[in-house]
Amino acid sequence: MRIRKKPWADEEFNTNKRWISAPEKNKGNWKSLFGNFNPIHIEIGCGKGRFITNMSNINKNVNYIAVERQKMVLASALKKSRENETEDNLKFIMADVKNLSDFFNKGEIDRIYINFCDPWPNKNKWAKRRLTHKNFLNLYAGLFDDKGEIFLKTDNRILFEFSLNEFEAHPLYKMRNICLDLHNSSFEQSNVMTEYEVKFTQKKMPIFRLEAIYNKEGVFYN
């Protein structure tokens, strides 16, 4: 679905200091851009920016990069970051997830958030488009150094079950903290919600969550 252009969007892109118009130029130099050696976490598909903006304000010792492929949606996220007086530990880029390796060197990313991504419900036809398909898990592995983390949240049971199987089958990932109903779990208190999550929770829909830990040697210790 085409999103109508917002009359204030161009000004937002031209004036918001958190917008990185040419992220490929920062490949290998993100820590220099942030001006510190703090870990870097990215959110794939930041939507209107509720989650990533709040996370950056809560965790000032972490650098955040919001990735969004739809320009007008990204404009809304930029606007939210400015209105909420976000710290300097947040940047925004417009990119497709499949091209992440064009913008980041191996080892630059420490954690990836995947929140309420498109479930692509037709498994036989669209499975490879799901952001937890093994092909994407391999892509994310190329962004991590020795270790890394992927945090997934979704309201879609089919996608969640698919993701459980993909992570379980991959030799370099191990899952932990699996929740079948996030807002009735011990993780609810520290949870930061997205726009979609607020809507789903109001409708009493269960939210599924997992953490996947990457280790390049495929060796994990309890």
From 118, 145, 146, 155, active-site residue: 118
pLDDT at 27: 97
pLDDT at 2: 53
pLDDT at 1: 47
HSE toward the beta carbon, residue 46, CA cutoff 13 A = 36
Q: Are 68 and 47 in contact (CB under 8 A)?
A: yes
pLDDT under 50: residue ranges of the chain: 1
Q: Where are the domains of the chain?
A: 9-215
Say how far apart CA 81 and CA 68 lie, in whole Å: 14
Residue 118 is a catalytic residue: yes
In this structure, CATH architecture of domain 9-215: 3-Layer(aba) Sandwich (3.40)
pLDDT digits (tens, 9 = 90+) for 8-26: 888 999 999 999 999 999 9
CA dihedral 57, 206, 119, 141 (to 10 degrees): 50
Place of tokens 């036989």: 124
For residue 132, what are the CA distances in angstroms to 148, 151, 161, 218?
Answer: 15, 11, 11, 18
Which of 176, 209, 180, 184 has the alpha carbon at shortest distance from 194?
A: 209
pLDDT at 124: 74
Say how far apart CA 204 and CA 217 lie, in whole Å: 40
